[in-house]
Amino acid sequence: METYDRAIRDFAAHIGKRDVRTINRKDLENYRCALLDREFKVISIIVYCQAVRLFFRYLEENQIIFENPAAGLPPLRRTTVLQPVPSEEEMQVLLSRPNSATATGIRDRALLETLYSTGLRRQEVLDLKVSSLNLQEGRARVMGKGQKERVVPVGKAALHWLGKYLAEVRTAWSHDKSGDALWLGSYSGRPLSYEALNQILRRYGKGPGIITRIGLHSIRRACATHMLARGASPVAIQALLGHSALKHLSQYLKVTITDLNQAHEKSRVGE
């Protein structure tokens, strides 16, 4: 029961001040995607969504709402969830959105390029330090899950924008409370917060040219999937993402195999 209470509180925080009578099925689908972007385990998402279903059933039975938006929502199953991956074209649109004529735009471009290049988890990117970077060698030291440190390569585009951000922006924003944190808030000069990161992703993840829902985890999936599609070794991807076993790459491999099947279906090689 405590878990269900926690789930309902989480859902209430997600919808904010909206009246529950205005919530529709699309809102519930977005909430489920938001849980995925927050890197909830599938079993936790199932439990949270079940709590929301029961909540709306209660509202319906007590005539607080006239139509239950959760009634037709297909249940999430542990064996499913091939989440949509942003295409390379969508990622290029995303990366081009920040206004590089502004300091905030330079920071945001550097941040998005770094996420796409490295596939870092949310806490990993927030914990990056200036001293973690070696721009000359194109590498960054990352503290991952279980306090396991790894060194990840950083692509040329990300290195370019990181260098620009460090030289032109971070130096101007930094003060005695900034510490060694790489990413700083534009107004406070303090280390970038969890919510500020989410706002950045929401700001640039909508609009023309982007159909797939953009979140931090979808960028991580895009990094892995696009590298695999271009011939990168699964072992190299495993090391980049900080997975302890190759089995964790199955979701990315399935996506690339699906893409291959679709391409083959269109081309009909041999016919």
Q: What is the pLDDT along the chain (271 residues), one digit of tens a residue?
A: 678 888 899 999 999 888 988 998 888 888 888 887 787 877 888 888 888 999 999 998 888 888 898 887 777 665 445 567 889 999 999 999 999 999 999 999 999 999 999 888 888 999 999 999 999 999 898 887 777 788 888 989 999 999 999 999 999 998 878 889 999 988 778 999 888 998 999 999 988 999 888 888 889 888 888 887 777 766 667 667 765 444 445 555 544 434 434 433 443 444 3
Q: Distance between CA atoms of 88 and 200, rounded to whole angstroms? A: 19
- Catalytic residue status for 220: yes
Whether residue 233 lies inside any domain: the answer is no
C-alpha dihedral (26, 32, 34, 36), degrees to nearest 10: -140
Whether residue 17 lies inside any domain: the answer is yes
Same domain flag for 11 and 125: no
Instruction: Look at residue 70 in the predicted model and tell me its pLDDT.
Output: 87
Instruction: Look at residue 106 in the predicted model and tell me its pLDDT.
Output: 97
Same domain flag for 107 and 185: yes
Of the residues 107, 121, 221, 226, only one is catalytic, namely 121
Whether residue 46 lies inside any domain: the answer is yes
Q: State if pTM tops 0.75.
A: no
Same domain flag for 162 and 209: yes
| Structural domain harbouring 35 | 2-61
- Catalytic residue status for 213: no
Whether residue 80 lies inside any domain: the answer is no
Instruction: Look at residue 80 in the predicted model and tell me its pLDDT.
Output: 47
Whether residue 35 lies inside any domain: the answer is yes
Whether residue 84 lies inside any domain: the answer is no
Whether residue 260 lies inside any domain: the answer is no
- The answer to whether 116 and 158 have CB atoms below 8 angstroms apart is yes
- Catalytic residue status for 121: yes
- Catalytic residue status for 264: no
* Closest of 192, 228, 219, 185 to residue 95, by C-alpha: 219
Of the residues 6, 9, 78, 145, only one is catalytic, namely 145
Same domain flag for 52 and 155: no
Of the residues 122, 217, 221, 226, only one is catalytic, namely 217
Same domain flag for 175 and 130: yes
Same domain flag for 151 and 207: yes
- Catalytic residue status for 217: yes
Same domain flag for 54 and 109: no
Final residue before a domain boundary, out of 61, 79, 105? 61
Same domain flag for 125 and 181: yes
- The answer to whether 50 and 10 have CB atoms below 8 angstroms apart is no
- Catalytic residue status for 243: yes
- Number of structural domains found in the chain: 2
Of the residues 31, 116, 204, 252, only one is catalytic, namely 252
Same domain flag for 136 and 180: yes
Residue 73, classed as helix, strand or coil, is: coil
Instruction: Look at residue 100 in the predicted model and tell me its pLDDT.
Output: 94
Same domain flag for 114 and 193: yes
Can you give the CATH number for the domain in which 166 is found? 1.10.443.10
Final residue before a domain boundary, out of 190, 214, 238? 214
Whether residue 130 lies inside any domain: the answer is yes
Instruction: Look at residue 126 in the predicted model and tell me its pLDDT.
Output: 92
Same domain flag for 96 and 57: no
Q: Measuring CA to CA, how many Å separate 36 from each of 81, 106, 128?
A: 10, 28, 22
Same domain flag for 182 and 132: yes
Final residue before a domain boundary, out of 61, 80, 104? 61
